[in-house]
């Protein structure tokens, strides 16, 4: 399919130690085509090589309108399956990669856009955000990992409700459901996301790796296996030189004392 000449699809820039990855296809509401997935994959690879955290957001009025339906309509069955599997690969590189991702959400976070948002580690939504899963209406099903990630994030009953009834969910509802962690005023999600990503970038690299890679795997284990895996991961992180230095910095100099919250 011919590229939209005006669209760069994905923009990438560094803000300090944080990679800012921008879905940049506003004319199509940042709908995710095959080319967008490949451009996103490239940005993820670059971020893993040079950033300590990343922020994902979208240009225009909406974060993301989900799967590019115009492209999808033309696909034979096997390409549709392979396309979905490619989304799984790319989103898994976000979820279980090397650096933490924060999503700054606004406007529509719909279908595959919600699946993309569900693959990051921290979600921030501004007051204009709305969430929907219109797959049922379109005669299709989620294919970007939503039946696993969204169902685990908010519960399969809520996800089923959204898919069956077309329920459009507000940011406040989504926060109550556990699907977003921070709410902001209109237009303020990106700054908040950058602030949170900058904070996460300051953690020990191997602790972040363990958080990204051990937590979702332990969730999939039995309690007994999970506790065992936790002990191993815990011991492994503690013997890194970085952990030794950070523990000494607190014990010897009181560095990084935990502060009580000031803004409720
Ligand atoms: C698109 C898409 C798209 C917009 N694929 N072209 N996703 C959906 O079912 C959501 C479909 N989109 C919408 O409901 C609305 O577009 C929005 C609420 C997101 C935004 O509304 P609005 O009024 O700002 O924009 P618009 O006028 O509807 O759309 C502007 C253009 O973007 C228009 O094209 P134009 O050539 O007529 O200007 C739209 O056709 C185009 N556009 N969304 C292709 N999604 C791995 S499986 C995942 C499964 C799914 O994601 S299913 C859900 C798909």
Where exactly are the structural domains of the chain? Answer: 5-201, 205-253
pTM for the whole structure: 0.96
Residues of the chain below pLDDT 50: 1-3, 5-6
Q: Where are the alpha helices (DSSP H) in the chain?
A: 34-50, 69-73, 77-95, 112-118, 135-138, 146-154, 156-165, 171-176, 189-201, 205-219, 223-238, 241-253
- What does the pLDDT read at residue 6? 43
* CB contact set of 228 (below 8 Å; sequence gap of 6+): none
Six token digits for residue 135: 């797959």
Q: Report the separation in Å between the CA atom of 115 and the middle of ligand 1, taken as the mean of its atom positions.
A: 15
Nearest of 117, 99, 194 to residue 153 by alpha carbon: 117
- What dotted CATH number matches 205-253? 1.10.12.10
- What does the pLDDT read at residue 8? 84
Give the nearest ligand 1 atom to 66 CA. 51
Q: Whose CA is nearest to atom 32 of ligand 1?
A: 28
**Which residues form ligand 1's pocket by a CB distance below 6 Å?**
28-29, 31, 61-62, 65-70, 84, 87, 108, 110-112, 134-135, 138, 140, 142-144
- What does the pLDDT read at residue 7? 55
Q: Report the separation in Å between the CA atom of 29 and the middle of ligand 1, taken as the mean of its atom positions.
A: 6
Cα dihedral 70→160→64→148 (10° resolution): -100
Catalytic residues: 115, 135
Q: Report the separation in Å between the CA atom of 133 and the middle of ligand 1, taken as the mean of its atom positions.
A: 12
Homologous superfamily (CATH) for 5-201: 2-enoyl-CoA Hydratase; Chain A, domain 1 (3.90.226.10)
Mutate to test the pocket of ligand 1, among 29, 34, 63, 119 (most ligand atoms within 8 A of CB): 29
Q: Report the separation in Å between the CA atom of 98 and the middle of ligand 1, taken as the mean of its atom positions.
A: 32
Beta carbons within 10 angstroms of residue 47's beta carbon: 26
> Which residues are registered as beta bridge partners of 32?
67
Give the nearest ligand 1 atom to 137 CA. 9
Give the nearest ligand 1 atom to 83 CA. 46
Nearest of 60, 61, 52, 45 to residue 12 by alpha carbon: 45
Return phi, psi of residue 88, to 5°.
Answer: -60, -45
Q: Whose CA is nearest to atom 37 of ligand 1?
A: 28
- What does the pLDDT read at residue 1? 44
Q: Report the separation in Å between the CA atom of 200 and the middle of ligand 1, taken as the mean of its atom positions.
A: 33
Q: Cα(81)–Cα(65) distance, rounded to whole angstroms?
A: 20
Q: Whose CA is nearest to atom 18 of ligand 1?
A: 108
* CB contact set of 221 (below 8 Å; sequence gap of 6+): 229
């Amino acid at each position: 399919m011919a590229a939209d000449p005006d669209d760069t699809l994905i923009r990438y820039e560094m803000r300090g130690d944080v990679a800012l990855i921008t879905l940049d296809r506003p004319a199509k509401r940042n709908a995710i085509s095959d080319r967008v997935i490949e451009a996103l994959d490239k940005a993820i690879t670059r971020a893993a090589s040079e950033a300590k955290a990343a922020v994902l957001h979208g240009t225009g009025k909406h974060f993301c309108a989900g799967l590019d339906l115009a492209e999808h309509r033309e696909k034979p069955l096997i390409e549709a399956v392979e396309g979905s599997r490619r989304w799984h690969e790319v989103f898994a590189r976000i979820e279980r990669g090397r650096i933490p991702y924060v999503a700054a959400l606004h406007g529509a976070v719909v279908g595959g856009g919600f699946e993309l948002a569900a693959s990051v580690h921290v979600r921030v939504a501004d007051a204009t955000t709305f969430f929907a899963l219109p797959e049922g209406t379109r005669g299709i099903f989620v294919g970007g990992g939503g039946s696993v990630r969204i169902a685990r994030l908010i519960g399969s009953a809520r996800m089923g409700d959204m898919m069956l009834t077309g329920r459009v969910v507000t940011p406040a509802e989504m926060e109550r459901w556990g699907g977003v962690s921070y709410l902001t005023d209109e237009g303020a999600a990106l700054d908040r996301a950058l602030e949170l990503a900058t904070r996460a970038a300051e953690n020990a690299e191997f602790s972040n790796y363990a958080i990204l890679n051990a937590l979702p795997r332990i969730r999939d284990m039995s309690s007994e296996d999970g506790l065992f895996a936790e002990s191993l991961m815990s011991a492994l992180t503690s013997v890194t030189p970085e952990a030794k230095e950070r523990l000494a910095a607190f014990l010897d100099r009181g560095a990084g004392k935990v502060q009580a919250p000031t803004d409720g």
